[in-house]
Amino acid sequence: MKQFILLILAAGKGTRLKSGLPKVLHHLAGKPLIEYVLDASRPLGPSSTLIVVGYEAEAVKSALAGVPAQFIDQVPQLGTGHAVQLAKPHWESHRGTILILSGDVPLISTHTLKSILETHWKTRPSVTLLSTFLEDPTGYGRVVRNSRGDVERVVEQKDASVQEQGLKEINTGIYCFEIADLVQVIGELSAANAQGEYYLTDSVGLLRRRNKRVGVMVCEDPLEAIGINSRIELAQLEQVLRGRKIKQLMLEGVTIVDPASTYVALDVRVGRDTVLYPNVFLEKGSLIGSRCQIYPNVRISNSVLEDNVIVLDSSLISESRIQSSAQIGPFAHLRRHTVIGKEARIGNFVEVKKSEIGDKTKAAHLSYLGDAQIGQGVNIGAGTITCNYDGVSKHPTVIEDHVFVGSDSQLIAPVTIHRNAYVAAGSSICEDVPEDSLAIARSRQVIKENWARKRRETRRKG
């Protein structure tokens, strides 16, 4: 493709969102709106990327810190034309084309952006704008054509006549300009309108008055042109994207029991013959293998599940890896940097943090395992706790292969339980346990006969 400059307008507050967050940083299906625009335009290979920021500019810059772009501050925010004027020193000396996008149009596709560029280069007008048709065009600028069908101008909703408001063709806010022609008219924009702003759309009429050609490409899918101006629109597009992802997975061989109540982030991959039950949330960065069973009310984020994993009801898994044929839950919590071995079982009300659990090891219920290295074939009894925090630092617990830890045991780190050892139920272990030994660390049971009867008699007298 030919070289072009990319300019993204991302300065808006999004008043109707009623938020302290900049509009372009509101999340849709797990990522900020502006990231969709960047992802769609990146494969086209712009020679440089300019981003105009305004409201909470530093937050936007921070969120996009890894993006190779130049940021231009728009203070105050006086409209799209004003934004392009402020960016002018960064694009006016270049030759060729500038592609201008809005940062809040998340469903725009690479295909459509490539098409408008190619259309512009083939037909060679001064500007090519992207339009589409909406049954309800309320809030959008209307494309006004003459009797020959040529674009005469674009009029914003608040400045449109009753007749113009009846038009269904809207301006998407996406343009290809020839830089040499845009330079001639960008300084002539006026704020004499209902909003008191400088509209980039007015440049279309200014170019027409100079007898410059104005091209238009109609976007066949109106959803690509939808901008986010309210939380209602945000929810509507969320539903669209989620529906597309769910449909894709089912076509690829995933069973989704209730698509309406299942959430899967766009970058999540799920293997064939996996079953997702209602109210499952698979969040950004997750990879689910084949033949897994994910039961209701499970949330998995940024984690890997290998094949044949079962996750029972109401479990929470984040930043973890679960190896093949393991079983998790119900009501389990796996926290960051946890690895669960093959055929291992983490049962109900077990929390695991920053630990590696070996193959075929079981922690069936009511335990906390933190900063632990646990070998293969280990039995962790109910109520076992690795006491890993001394109030200042975290310490490791090591449990080697085939250890049996009895119920209600406290393993006070740093401590190592060596191979084939046993820990008696109710023990508080604070010293290493040798291989093949039994560790008992509890007080000797003492029975005081008739103590309870004497206590009752004393209380009655009292």
The CATH number of domain 4-225, selected from 3.40.50.170, 3.40.30.10, 3.90.550.10, 3.40.50.880:
3.90.550.10
Going by C-alpha positions, the residue among 282, 226, 169 that lies closest to residue 37 is: 226
Q: pLDDT tens across 377-429, in order?
A: 999 999 999 999 999 999 999 999 999 999 999 999 999 999 999 999 999 99
Q: pLDDT tens across 239-272, in order?
A: 999 999 999 999 999 999 999 999 999 999 999 9
pTM of the model: 0.87
Q: What is the pLDDT of residue 147?
A: 84
Q: Which residues of the chain have pLDDT under 50?
A: none
CA separation for the pair 223, 226 (Å, rounded): 5
State the catalytic residues.
365
Q: What is the pLDDT of residue 159?
A: 87
- Burial class from Cβ neighbours inside 10 Å (0-12, 13-18, 19+) for residue 121 reads middle
- Chain mean pLDDT for the chain: 95
Q: What is the pLDDT of residue 139?
A: 81
Buried b (16+ CB within 10 A) or exposed e, 137-160: beebbbbbbeeeeebbbbbbbebb
CA separation for the pair 260, 245 (Å, rounded): 12
Q: pLDDT tens across 103-125, in order?
A: 999 999 999 999 999 999 999 99
Q: What is the pLDDT of residue 127?
A: 96
Q: Cis before residue 414, ω within 30 degrees of 0?
A: yes
Q: What is the pLDDT of residue 431?
A: 96
Q: What is the pLDDT of residue 192?
A: 87
Q: What is the pLDDT of residue 406?
A: 97
Q: What is the pLDDT of residue 193?
A: 85
Domain borders along the chain are 4-225
